[in-house]
Amino acid sequence: MAKLYVVATPIGNLGDWSPRAVETLLTVDLIAAEDTRVTGKLCQVNGIHTPLTSMHQHNEGVKGEQLAEKMLAENLNVALTTDAGTPCVSDPGYALVKACVERGIEVVSVPGCCAAIAAISVSGLDSREFAFYGFLPREKKDLKEKLRDIAGKTKMAVVHESPFRVKDLVACMKEEWSGAQLSVSCDLTKMYEKTVRGTPEEVLRALEENPKAEKGEYCLVADLRNVEMPEKAQPAADVCLEARIVDLMMSEGLSLRDAQSEMVLRGEKKNAVKQAALRLKKEFSGE
């Protein structure tokens, strides 16, 4: 029976490659690699001579379908790798895995290195729950919108960034994530591995003072529990609805509950009236 092995590769230190991963690449019929040159070097170090084929972000849509069909037709075992870390985690591979799943081909994980997990483990932040966002938008406007969106959805976020854009990213975090705590790691598992921790202001200062800041990929872990979120402006229609409820209470001597029911009877949407009444109740109670 054909089988797909999703094999994690080292993110820097070759000593992190597991014996099981090496054995898998030795015994499969084919290796689907993000870059055959990168995986080829890893194979050479470990005496692996298994044939390779490319499976990168620009061809995986079509290639994934074709390879899955070939696996079924020829009963092939295939290993999926990326240049560094775990396939499908902010790296190519999803299309092949999906194609195999759809065809009933067994998919097996051969776990190992993952930059995001490595960065979390050394962050010193409470990351029992977190959300992973990979690479964020490059344009400043889109980036700021995404940062605000992230802060409104999670209390712990993990992102990747290029060494050439990391200062701009942290500068935006400084503007949008007041109160955040960051742990920023680069060159994980390599000779010059470094992690900087602190507020966005402190981390940005450390990056600006580091002449080698543009060396190595970055993974950023952010604790957003104390980030100050701007209050959303209340829609004019909702304000008008609240005013009408109050007018009804005063003109006809109704309770808030009765005024709420009367507004629904007059054709207002039940949920909108309910939300307006809840805001009024909160205001009346002084909360």
- The pLDDT score that the predictor gives to residue 241 is 85
Do 249 and 207 have their domain in common? no
- Residue 212 pLDDT exceeds 80: yes
Residue-level pLDDT at 191: 86
pLDDT, greater one: 213 or 132: 132
Q: Is the pLDDT of residue 232 over 80?
A: no
Q: Which residue range is the domain that position 24 belongs to?
A: 3-113
Domain boundary among 44, 79, 113: 113
Residues shown for the chain: 287
Same structural domain, 142 and 207: yes
Task: Supply the DSSP symbol for 78.
Answer: E
CATH number of the domain that 201 lies in?
3.30.950.10
- Tens-digit pLDDT profile for residues 256-282: 989 989 888 888 888 888 988 888 888
Give the pLDDT band of residue 216 (cuts 50, 70, 90): confident
pLDDT band (50, 70, 90) for residue 223: very high
| Domain identity same for 108 and 120 | no
Give one DSSP letter per residue of 156-225, joined into a string.
EEEEEE-TTTHHHHHHHHHHH-TT-EEEEEESTTSTT-EEEEE-HHHHHHHHHH-TTTTSS-EEEEEE-T
Q: What is the per-residue pLDDT for 283?
A: 80
In a domain, 123, yes or no: yes
Domain termination residue (choose one: 199, 223, 247): 223
Same domain, 97 and 23: yes
103 and 205 housed in the same domain: no
Residue 215 pLDDT greater than 90, yes or no = no
CB 255 within 8 A of CB 273: no
Please indicate, yes or no, if residue 231 is contained in any of the structural domains: no
For residue 188, the model assigns a pLDDT of 95
Domain total for the chain? Answer: 3
What's the alpha-carbon Rg for the chain, to the nearest Å? 27
Q: How far is CA 14 from the centre of its chain?
A: 26
pLDDT top residue among 163 and 214 = 163
pLDDT of residue 42: 93
Looking at the fold, whether 33 and 97 belong to one and the same domain comes out as: yes
Write the single-letter amino acid at 92: P
What are the tens digits of pLDDT across the range 37-83?
Answer: 999 999 999 999 999 999 998 999 999 999 999 999 999 999 999 99
**Whole-model pTM above 0.85?**
no
* Beta strands across the sheet bearing 156-161: 131-135, 156-161, 218-223, 181-186, 194-198
* Cα–Cα separations (whole angstroms), residue 34 to 107, 121, 151, 227: 18, 26, 32, 38
- Smallest Cα–Cα separation from 131: which of 218, 224, 216? 224
Q: Are 226 and 211 in contact (CB under 8 A)?
A: no
CB proximity list for 23: less than 8 A, separation 6 or greater: none
pLDDT tens, 144-157? 999 999 999 999 99
User: Is 230 part of a structural domain of the chain?
Assistant: no
Instruction: Report the percent of the chain where pLDDT is more than 90.
Output: 75
Average pLDDT of the chain, as a whole number: 92
